[in-house]
Amino acid sequence: MKRREFLKSAAVGTAAAAAASTLAAPAVAQDVRRWKMVTAWPKNLPGPGVAAQMLADRITALSGGRIVVELYAAGELVPGNGVFDAVSEGTAELYHAVPAYWGSKSKGILLFGSQPFGLRADEQVGWLAHGGGQELYDEMYGRFGLKPFLCGNSGPQWQGWFRTEINSVDDLKGLRFRTTGLASEMCSKLGMAVQAMGGRDMFQALQSGALDAGEFIGPWTDSALGFYQVAKNYYWPGVGEPSSAEECAVNKAAYDALPDDLKEAVAMAAQSLYNPVWTEYSTKHALALQKLVAEQGVQVKKLPDDVIVAMGNAAGEVIADLRGDEDELVRRITESFLAYRNSIADYMVYADNGQMNARALDYNYG
């Protein structure tokens, strides 16, 4: 309304416009909120670090500068693994991370980020928007004083970087492996010695021999972290994370205190980034993989089918554990996820799966 009044005054005369501008300025200045965003990533790390900065900038822009977001990378204000607590306790107003990091808070949280043999990036949004997932997401995070939004996705992740080849399920037993979330539980059931750590720590552990293998995200981000320098076998498919959603969680008291238009600006900033972030990952993963193979001698290898089946059975045990969890909310989240997964999986046999299988056949195209 003030902008329209200003433009109307400008049509009348320069003096009136100057007066309107002078009167409006103090009101705008008093309305500015300065928010701190903490992240789980190094600043501008290709993929999640870049996406975090995009989110900070977009909230500032869509709020018309009434919320100014300053980004703090992992370790600058709090450690990367401390961002959930920092925002819950009010040390910062919001964070950028992934749900896969918060299993110690509740196993139910893990389903909102990725699920072994679970939802793809588009299906994850479908569950939240059309399958009742967002209400459960809000209910779970509300326990911790947070308001959550998905704000990006890496798309299909890779099974990871291995110092030696995997030829059978027996090769997994005792393997020291970096992963997170429900994928770590799946791997543990197969006898793997799972460790959680950041990307830079994973590189050092692979280099020193403290790790035998590990997964982080995919070719674009993994290239920047240099994993190809210490492990040349790059395995697919990453069945532990068919997609991995990135999230923004806002301190609920800070969010609830916003006027409705600023609440909408924060929500739109997060939700409108989902597709741009996801498609940037997909595009740059494809380009990075070409370079890894052509320039770095990386060996792209498929997991044997019997290993994939064994992982699927182990993932089923993980889901069964969640269905029997003592927390009633975790059980409701799991049943909602399963209902959506099973329904969409039946349809995708004819839809996206059919298209991708047809595209993979041998024919002249270009």
Please tell me whether residues 146 and 269 are part of one structural domain. yes
Residue 337 lies in a domain: yes
Render pLDDT for 310-328 as a digit per residue (tens, 0 to 9): 999 999 999 999 999 999 9
CB atoms within 10 A of CB 198: 20
Please tell me whether residues 193 and 59 are part of one structural domain. no
Average pLDDT, the chain: 93
Tokens read off for 92: 């910062």
Is 243's pLDDT higher than 70?
yes
Q: Give residue 162's pLDDT.
A: 98
Percent of the chain's residues with pLDDT above 70: 92
Query: Looking at residues 82-101, what average pLDDT do you find?
Result: 98
Domain of 270, CATH number, reads 3.40.190.170
Q: Give residue 30's pLDDT.
A: 61
What span, in angstroms and rounded, lies between the C-alpha atoms of 300 and 19?
67
Please tell me whether residues 235 and 255 are part of one structural domain. no
Query: Looking at residues 251-273, what average pLDDT do you find?
Result: 98
Cβ 183 vs Cβ 115: under 8 Å: no
Residue 24 lies in a domain: no
- Per residue, the 3-state secondary structure of 97-119, as one string, reads ECHHHCCCCCHHHHCCCCCCCCC
Residue 359 lies in a domain: no
Is 7's pLDDT higher than 80?
no
What span, in angstroms and rounded, lies between the C-alpha atoms of 149 and 344?
22
Predicted model pTM? 0.90
Please tell me whether residues 172 and 310 are part of one structural domain. yes
Please tell me whether residues 235 and 318 are part of one structural domain. yes
Is 14's pLDDT higher than 70?
no
Q: Is 65 left (phi over 0), alpha (psi -120 to 50) or beta?
A: left
Is 138's pLDDT higher than 70?
yes
CA neighbor of 185 nearest in space, from 348, 336, 322: 322
Give CA angle at 179 (178, 184), nearest 5°.
115
Residue 209 lies in a domain: yes
Please tell me whether residues 260 and 216 are part of one structural domain. no
Residue 363 lies in a domain: no
> Would the annotation count 331 as a binding residue?
no
Is 19's pLDDT higher than 60?
no
Please tell me whether residues 144 and 69 are part of one structural domain. yes
CA neighbor of 188 nearest in space, from 103, 82, 299: 103
What residues make up the domain containing 233? 160-242+295-352
Please tell me whether residues 118 and 216 are part of one structural domain. no
Residue 131 lies in a domain: yes
> Would the annotation count 359 as a binding residue?
no
What span, in angstroms and rounded, lies between the C-alpha atoms of 214 and 177?
5
Please tell me whether residues 85 and 231 are part of one structural domain. no
Is 194's pLDDT higher than 60?
yes
Residue 17 lies in a domain: no
What total number of domains does the chain contain?
2
Please tell me whether residues 326 and 248 are part of one structural domain. no
Domain of 347, CATH number, reads 3.40.190.10
Please tell me whether residues 346 and 250 are part of one structural domain. no
> Would the annotation count 178 as a binding residue?
yes
The model's confidence at residue 22, banded by pLDDT at 50, 70 and 90, is very low
DSSP string, 130-197: HSSHHHHHHHHHHTTTEEEEEEEE--SPP-EEESS---SGGGGTT-EEE--HHHHHHHHHTT-EEE--
Residue 237 lies in a domain: yes
Please tell me whether residues 262 and 309 are part of one structural domain. no
